[in-house]
Amino acid sequence: MCSRPVPREPLHRVAVTGGTHGNEMSGICLVRHWLQAPGELQRPSFSAVPVLANLAAIAACRRYVGCDLNRTFISTFLTAKASPDDPYEVTRARELNQLLGPKASSQAFDFVLDLHNTTANVGTCLIIDTNQDVFAMHLCHHLQLQNPELPCRVILYQRPGEERFSLSSVTKNGISLELGPQPQGVLRADLFSQMRALVAAVLDFIELFNQGTAFPAFEMKAYSIVGTVDFPRTKDGHLAGTVHPRLQDQDFELLQPGAPIFQMFSGEDVLYEGESTVYPVFINEAAYYEKGIAFFQTKKLTFSVPALPALTSACTPGP
């Protein structure tokens, strides 16, 4: 997997994005608020820029209007010649790449925090590409230490040999924050407040880093995606069953071979036939029906994360 280099300079160009999916309301409402009252994103050494990502989808309160924006930040789309037939999200990805990138360039923003909601029972979930992203791993660890009442589980989303395709891949460093369960197009006060506090904690960590704080090495558990499982379907592709009651809402819980995972409309149970235990995540996520995903299979791994050294050119707080 491609790793991101550890920052050697303070992070000054920071963005917080919401509405990458236009019906995930916590990030949309927070970014709209910050566009009117940006002071909450101010820190002594930097000020984060709030950005609404998928404007057309937000206006329609839909996940997307043409294709999934969070899958379009790949070279095939970003470098291709623009066409009137391009889906809106491809055009918007190029615009965001110019605003926050360009991707893999020295001119790109130093960091982006992309805000998401899910209908699945994942709680507080931090998504990064790979465990080789040392800065992101330290940030996740900091959030775990600051929020002991929240699991703050970490998912490694990128698979070996796969090009990074999400919005957070455009900048030099970045993570996605996923909170659930929350229905599409609905705003829950508890998740709104929780996301707001987590954003503040992320910005506080960047400020600590900018001021020259060193962070020691540690051991971290994370969930690495190894596969997906689709719903049982008819020959015509329609659903033939649904997630089993014993699996529903059991995100990040151990799933053993032989355990029920689906309940057919005809009444019988479908059992998990994997060769090893896994930890399912994003169980019964509404947006993944069209993608043929009932849940992701992950493995829980433990990583040794090296220390994040103090900057030698740390920022000096202003008066």
pLDDT tens-place string over residues 217-243: 999 999 999 999 999 999 999 999 999
> Is 219 annotated as ligand-binding?
no
pLDDT interval class at 142 (50, 70, 90)? very high
> Is 142 annotated as ligand-binding?
no
CA 74 to chain centre: 16
Q: What is the tens place of the pLDDT at every residue in 242-276?
A: 999 999 999 999 999 999 999 999 999 999 998 89
Q: What is the tens place of the pLDDT at every residue in 124-140?
A: 999 998 888 999 999 99
Q: What is the tens place of the pLDDT at every residue in 152-189?
A: 999 998 777 778 889 999 999 999 999 999 999 999 99
What is the pLDDT at residue 319?
Answer: 43
What is the pLDDT at residue 129?
Answer: 87
Distance CA 77, CA 261 (A): 37
What is the pLDDT at residue 316?
Answer: 58
Q: How many CA atoms lie within 13 A of 302 on its CB side?
A: 2
Give domain limits for the chain.
14-222
Confidence check: pLDDT of 317 > 90: no
Q: What is the tens place of the pLDDT at every residue in 99-120?
A: 999 999 999 999 999 999 999 9
What is the pLDDT at residue 165?
Answer: 86
Catalytic residue among 178, 219, 273, 275: 178
Q: Say if strands 46-47 and 49-52 run parallel, antiparallel, or are unpaired.
A: unpaired
Closest CA to 133 of 99, 150, 158: 158
Confidence check: pLDDT of 18 > 90: yes
> Is 33 annotated as ligand-binding?
no
Are the CB atoms for 195 and 26 separated by under 8 Å? yes
Confidence check: pLDDT of 201 > 90: yes
Distance CA 202, CA 40 (A): 12
What is the pLDDT at residue 87?
Answer: 96
Active site residue 178: yes
- Is domain 14-222 annotated with CATH 3.40.50.720? no
Question: For a pLDDT cut of 90, what percent of the chain falls above it?
Answer: 89
pTM of the model: 0.95
